[in-house]
Amino acid sequence: MEKIKITVLVENSTDNPLLRSEHGLSLLIESGPYTFLFDTGQGGVLKGNMSQLGVSIERVTHFILSHGHYDHGNGLPVFKKIKRRIPAFVHPLAVLPRYAVTEEEIRYIGLCRDHLRLFDSFEMLLKEDFAFFPLDERHFIGGHFAYENDFETNSGPFFMDPDGKVPDLFEDEIALGIKTQEGLVIVSGCSHHGIVNMAAQMLHSSGLTHIKAIIGGFHLSKASVVKQQKTALELKKMGVGMLYAGHCTGKTAFGVMEKMLGKKNVREIPAGMVFTIG
């Protein structure tokens, strides 16, 4: 069975003194003929961390942007030196402006507008909304996620306008699915639709019956303990084998998942971590 190798390039934390951390996510995923760069973080540490880890941008065969937030897509300039057109999975709506609007502040959290021209150098593969985009028999991109359960709802201060009148429905959110003999491997950036909602749809799309592992951010850092517990319980019911949790998951939620799924089944993913699945 072919193994999947994941190198954590950007994360909220690191235990490697040679690397830097930032609030963001970027993963190098090597599977079969593909080397995916999944997200790019904020852009402040990606290039340096790649250099320290001996990762060349020239190795990347495909780029995946999980959604259009600054902490996932503002490292795009790392592609400037590549002469060839990289196939890219970027939802068309990911380029739209996005804001976090609260009583205290209005903050722009979308992609840097100066970076958008870099998309012209990519081979953009996603032209419209979709739920399932296969690369081959094993690898696919999932999208058009729905809010199916009663505890993962579209909440938070996320809007498409600075006045806070148009909620961000995260229609641009996508995830990577990789089929293995032991089940489905899912990679998600922030899981704004809820990791249970997304995992259920990805599993259905794959035609498999078991989830071997889920990797990424689960957006539970500011969630209630009740929501964290429900999330962990549902993932346990789904029979998820391993959780590699980072970025926006949060320490409290991580502890809840450890308690409910078992410490050996839940791992943090600091920048610099390299692990294989399969």
Q: What are the domain boundaries of the chain? A: 4-277
User: Could you read off the pLDDT of 16-33 as tens digits, one per residue?
Assistant: 999 999 999 999 999 999
Q: What does the alpha-carbon distance between residue 173 and residue 109 come to, in Å, rounded to a whole number?
A: 15
The predicted-structure confidence for 259-274, as pLDDT tens digits, reads as follows 999 999 999 999 999 9
pLDDT in tens, 187-234: 999 999 999 999 999 999 999 999 999 999 999 999 999 999 999 999
In DSSP terms, 187 is beta-bridged to 176, 215
Residue 160, pLDDT above cutoff 70: yes
pTM of the entire structure?
A: 0.97
Q: What's the pLDDT band for 154 if we cut at 50, 70, 90? A: confident
Question: Quick one: average pLDDT of 103-124?
Answer: 96
The answer to whether 79 and 50 have CB atoms below 8 angstroms apart is no
pLDDT tens readout for residues 44-70: 999 999 999 999 999 999 999 999 999
CATH number for the domain running over 4-277: 3.60.15.10
Rounded alpha-carbon distances, angstroms, from residue 137 to 3, 16, 39, 153 = 15, 36, 23, 32
DSSP 42-109: SSSSHHHHHHHHT--GGG--EEE--SS-HHHHTTGGGGTT--S-EEEE--GGGGS--EEE-SS-EEE-
What is the predicted pLDDT for the residue at 278? 87
pLDDT band at 75 (very low <50, low <70, confident <90, very high): very high
Residue 129, pLDDT > 90, answer no
What's the mean per-residue pLDDT of the chain? 97
With bands split at pLDDT 50, 70 and 90, how would you rate the model's confidence at 1? low
The upper half-sphere exposure of residue 31, i.e. CA atoms within 13 Å in the direction of its Cβ, equals 28
Phi and psi, residue 195, nearest 5° = -65, -30
pLDDT given for residue 128 in this prediction: 84
